[in-house]
């Protein structure tokens, strides 16, 4: 991530504010929102849903996460299941960190970013940035996750039932240029691991967000001009 000049930040955030706000769906259940529990397709998929617990950049469970589950719009869940099946033939598996994200959770992130006094997680998640620099590039008032077709994940190497996450160069939700997918300072092995994940996801149509190596969206499955606020439960 580059540190944008103040004027550039103002212009970008102003442009975002000028865009029409997406409609919040009236759906109140996952079924009404067309969301599928990924484990209904892959019962043993590895999940570690950080926002349902304390181990995340806010330091507490996030509003809207009542259970540690991965929901996605059905076409995205089916595509991710295909990625997982293809990887297993190579001795690899996915480890999923976040999927559909309720709009209320995104609002909680924005409130957290606006609280300069809460820096409990700075060392682990944004050691080289001021908290005020997180809005825009890393934390936005509207997230693609709330459209139901975005997922945060990594790769694991497996030997039998024992799986170990591959070295990607940073942890999840590390807000720093080192998390950029093509960060030039990576080791050869870290770059190869990121590219391996990129190729596996791209094979099913998922597109990477270049500022976060773990962040992928399936545009064809995302809700159009609509976000959801169904709790994860």
Is 119 inside a domain boundary? yes
pLDDT over threshold 50, residue 129: yes
Q: Greatest CA span in the chain, whole angstroms? A: 53
Is 2 inside a domain boundary? no
Q: What is the domain extent for residue 169?
A: 30-227
Does residue 212 have an active-site annotation? yes
* SS3 label, residue 36: strand
The angle subtended at Cα 100 by Cα 76 and Cα 69, nearest 5°, is 100
User: How many Å apart are CA 125 and CA 59, to the nearest integer?
Assistant: 10
Q: What is the mean pLDDT of residues 39-44?
A: 98
* SS3 label, residue 212: coil
Q: Which positions ≥6 away from 135 have C-beta within 8 Å?
A: 13, 110, 113, 114
User: Over the stretch 160-204, which tens digit does the pLDDT of each residue have?
Assistant: 889 999 999 999 999 999 999 999 999 999 999 999 999 999 999
Task: Count up the domains in the chain and report the number.
Answer: 1
> What pTM did the predictor assign?
0.90
pLDDT of 166: 98
Is 21 inside a domain boundary? no
SS3 per-residue string spanning 58-114: CCCCCCCECCCCCEEEHHHHHHHHHHHHHHHCCCEEEEEEECCCCHHHHHHHHHHHC
Pick the catalytic residue from 137, 159, 212, 233. Answer: 212
Is 5 inside a domain boundary? no
Is 115 inside a domain boundary? yes
Is 190 inside a domain boundary? yes
List the CATH number of the domain containing 102.
Answer: 3.30.1380.10
Is 202 inside a domain boundary? yes
Is 1 inside a domain boundary? no
pLDDT of 21: 84
CB neighbours (10 Å) of residue 11?
12
User: Over the stretch 66-94, which tens digit does the pLDDT of each residue have?
Assistant: 999 999 999 999 999 999 999 999 999 99
């Amino acid at each position: 991530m580059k540190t944008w000049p103040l004027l550039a930040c103002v212009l970008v955030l102003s442009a975002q504010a000028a865009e029409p706000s997406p409609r919040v769906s009236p759906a109140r259940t996952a079924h009404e929102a067309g969301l599928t529990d990924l484990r209904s397709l892959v019962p043993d998929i590895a999940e570690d849903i950080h926002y349902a617990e304390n181990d995340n950049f806010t330091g507490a469970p996030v509003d809207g996460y009542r259970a540690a589950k991965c929901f996605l719009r059905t076409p995205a869940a089916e595509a991710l299941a295909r990625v997982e099946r293809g990887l297993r033939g190579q001795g690899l598996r996915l480890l999923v960190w976040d999927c559909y994200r309720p709009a209320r959770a995104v609002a909680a992130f924005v409130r957290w970013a606006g609280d300069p006094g809460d820096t409990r997680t700075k060392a682990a998640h944004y050691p080289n940035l001021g908290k005020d620099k997180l809005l825009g590039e890393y934390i936005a008032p509207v997230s693609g996750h709330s459209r139901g077709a975005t997922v945060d994940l990594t790769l694991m190497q497996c030997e039998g039932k024992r799986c170990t996450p591959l070295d990607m160069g940073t942890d999840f939700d590390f807000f720093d240029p080192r998390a950029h997918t093509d960060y030039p300072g990576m080791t050869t092995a870290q770059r190869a691991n990121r590219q391996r994940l990129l190729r596996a996801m791209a094979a099913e149509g998922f597109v990477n967000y270049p500022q976060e190596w773990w962040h992928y969206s399936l545009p064809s499955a995302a809700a159009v001009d609509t976000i959801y606020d169904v709790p994860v439960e």
